[in-house]
Amino acid sequence: MTSIPKSTTQEPRTVIRTLRVRLYPGTAANGQYLEQLAGACRFAWNHVLAGHETDYRTWKASGKPGGPGDPTFFTLGKRFTQLRNAPGHEWLKDYSYEIVRYTCKYLGDAYAAFFDPDRPDHGCPQYKARHYTKPAFTIPSHVRIEDGRLYIPKMGWTRLGPVHRYADGKPLTVRVRQESEGKQPKWYAYIVFEVPVDHPDVCRPAESGAVGVDRNVGQATDSTGAVHEIPDTTVEDAKIKRYQRRIARQKKGSNRRRGTGGKLRKLQRKRARRRDNATHQVSRKVADTAHTVVLEDLNTKAMTKSAKGTVENPGKNVKQKAGLNRAILASGWGQLERKLAYKAGELRFVDPAYTSQACSRCGHIAKSNRPSQAVFACGACGFRANADHNAAINILVRARLPPVPVPARGTGAAARRGALPPWSVARPATGTPATREPDMRGVHHRI
Ligand SMILES: [Zn+2]
């Protein structure tokens, strides 16, 4: 998953970066047009989907060999073109052909994912209901951005919020999305830029070194000992649950239910934004620490291992629960993975088995190495450390990579911690841990 290859090519190397920018339709009529354009896309999706499903059923009933034809962007797009030219659908000509037809691209992708044997969880494409679909559409090409304005085909120019980065980059596509409902909905443009790798606005990963990251509930610890907190969303979670219970009681189609739905979605957006922001910040900090980032391969090996259990540990339910917990964690940390994939110089995955129970200094694996959730204390060599930090070092060691050299950035606490080789973090001879976790110190004195 190397984003920047070492070899140099003749072509100027570029990277793809997306910016989310506020879009101001300007007038109520323009806002309405954007909603209608998104509605036309939704209509096209539903129509083309229904057409393909009919074809499929007809083919199945006929008992003929072959198939109903592959639902690809090309074939689905043809179906849309027929629809647009059919009598009674002249209204579709009020909207850009290119934009509305591009909906078929998404439908084709959805079908491809549905048929992909590597994605067994991906279901069949569904119809989009009006009130459960965020108005959105994509300008797939010929994007025009001038003087802080975006051109919407067949509508005109709309003002954009400040574009702080990549202003001189080449805009490839724009996804326009309405992100809040009500009387004054907000619109956002997701502008996809192609920019040269050496563009000053493009953040570069650290030049060298490697860092392991252990992902936990609410925080991630890297092998330099730095703890990256993810905000606690229990307040939002509780409120969301309350509104969900309320909405379940309310009568369908009532004004009160609609109001509750608005509040619910607002909270969900807030929660998503907080997580998104936090994972952006954490991934940036980690990518700045070292070139190569090592994570546990939580999605594949850990799940299956936990589910199966082992001969020595027949506690079936415990194992399953652990697997479930891990799955939840992995889903929460999937965002970090995706962001690191393009921010870090290189992203590697290692087998996560026993990273929390193995000693990062001598390799001794035992459950008793964990006297508590926070502490790691090796039963063989006496190594003591913060449990998450020990796990992060294990992750790094498994990738067989040298740790981060002395970080060039700053002289702060993180830099000082990073300057120490991982195994010198805790010194059993003196019994003074060099990490500064308060819980760590407390536990040390108690034992
Ligand atoms: Zn040990």
Reference 397, options 210, 206, 208; nearest CA is 210
| Same domain? 218 vs 144 | no
Q: Whose structure tokens read 């992909």? A: 116
Query: Does residue 401 fall inside a structural domain?
Result: yes
| Same domain? 140 vs 218 | no
What pLDDT was estimated at residue 216?
A: 81
Mean pLDDT throughout 177-196? 90
What pLDDT was estimated at residue 21?
A: 95
Residue 296 annotated to the active site? yes
Reference 205, options 280, 292, 335, 296; nearest CA is 292
Res. 180 pLDDT band, cuts 50 70 90: confident
**Distance (Å) from CA 328 to ligand 1 centroid:** 30
pLDDT of 424 higher than 80: no
**Distance (Å) from CA 389 to ligand 1 centroid:** 14
Condensed to tens digits (0 to 9), the pLDDT of residues 3-12 reads 454 554 455 5
What pLDDT was estimated at residue 419?
A: 41
Residue 351 annotated to the active site? no
What SS3 state is found at 209? coil
What pLDDT was estimated at residue 382?
A: 87
In Å, what is the CA distance from 77 to each residue of 36, 40, 44, 53, 412? 20, 14, 10, 15, 56
| Same domain? 142 vs 225 | no
Least confident window among 14-18, 130-134, 306-310, 344-348: 306-310
**Distance (Å) from CA 381 to ligand 1 centroid:** 4
| Same domain? 292 vs 183 | no
Question: 18 φ, ψ to 5°?
Answer: -115, 135
Listed in sequence order, the residues at least 6 apart from 76 whose beta carbon sits closer than 8 Å to its beta carbon are 48, 52, 104, 107, 108
**Distance (Å) from CA 425 to ligand 1 centroid:** 13
Domain encompassing residue 169: 14-196
Query: Does residue 8 fall inside a structural domain?
Result: no
| Same domain? 178 vs 327 | no
pLDDT of 106 higher than 70: yes
What pLDDT was estimated at residue 325?
A: 60
pLDDT of 447 higher than 90: no
> Active site residue: 296, 337, 346, 437, which one?
296
Residue 168 annotated to the active site? no
Query: Does residue 201 fall inside a structural domain?
Result: no
| Same domain? 217 vs 114 | no
What pLDDT was estimated at residue 153?
A: 95
| Same domain? 303 vs 418 | yes
What pLDDT was estimated at residue 423?
A: 44
What pLDDT was estimated at residue 372?
A: 87
Res. 207 pLDDT band, cuts 50 70 90: confident
pLDDT of 184 higher than 80: yes
Res. 351 pLDDT band, cuts 50 70 90: confident
Res. 67 pLDDT band, cuts 50 70 90: confident
Least confident window among 63-72, 318-327, 378-387, 425-434: 425-434
**Distance (Å) from CA 428 to ligand 1 centroid:** 10
**pLDDT higher at 190 or 333:** 190
Q: Last residue of some domain: 171, 196, 221?
A: 196
CA distance 34 to 28: 10
What pLDDT was estimated at residue 182?
A: 73
Listed in sequence order, the residues at least 6 apart from 124 whose beta carbon sits closer than 8 Å to its beta carbon are 114
Query: Does residue 350 fall inside a structural domain?
Result: yes
Res. 47 pLDDT band, cuts 50 70 90: very high
| Same domain? 78 vs 174 | yes
Highest mean pLDDT among 39-43, 54-58, 162-166: 39-43
Reference 293, options 282, 302, 301; nearest CA is 282
What pLDDT was estimated at residue 319?
A: 60
Q: Whose structure tokens read 């994007």? A: 143
**Distance (Å) from CA 283 to ligand 1 centroid:** 30
Mean pLDDT throughout 148-156? 95
| Same domain? 186 vs 324 | no
Residue 187 parent element (H or E): strand 186-196
pLDDT of 84 higher than 70: yes
**pLDDT higher at 167 or 135:** 135
| Same domain? 295 vs 192 | no
Mean pLDDT throughout 106-126? 93
CA distance 177 to 261: 19
What pLDDT was estimated at residue 331?
A: 54
Query: Does residue 267 fall inside a structural domain?
Result: no
Question: 174 φ, ψ to 5°?
Answer: -135, 130
What pLDDT was estimated at residue 318?
A: 63
What pLDDT was estimated at residue 157?
A: 96
Condensed to tens digits (0 to 9), the pLDDT of residues 213-244 reads 998 877 889 999 899 988 878 888 899 999 99
What pLDDT was estimated at residue 410?
A: 42
| Same domain? 309 vs 379 | yes
Condensed to tens digits (0 to 9), the pLDDT of residues 241-282 reads 999 999 999 999 899 998 999 899 999 989 888 888 989 999
Four-point Cα dihedral 200, 195, 332, 327, nearest 10 = -130
pLDDT of 144 higher than 90: yes
Query: Does residue 115 fall inside a structural domain?
Result: yes
**Distance (Å) from CA 356 to ligand 1 centroid:** 12
How many structural domains compose the chain?
A: 2
Reference 224, options 374, 17, 424, 10; nearest CA is 424
CA distance 302 to 278: 25
Mean pLDDT throughout 21-38? 95
Res. 421 pLDDT band, cuts 50 70 90: very low
Query: Does residue 264 fall inside a structural domain?
Result: no
What pLDDT was estimated at residue 215?
A: 86
> Active site residue: 222, 337, 388, 437, which one?
388
Condensed to tens digits (0 to 9), the pLDDT of residues 281-333 reads 999 999 999 999 999 887 644 454 444 455 565 555 666 666 556 555 555 67
> Active site residue: 214, 222, 288, 437, which one?
214
Paired tokens of 149: 């304005």
Query: Does residue 2 fall inside a structural domain?
Result: no
**Distance (Å) from CA 433 to ligand 1 centroid:** 15
What pLDDT was estimated at residue 313?
A: 57
**pLDDT higher at 215 or 434:** 215
| Same domain? 164 vs 96 | yes
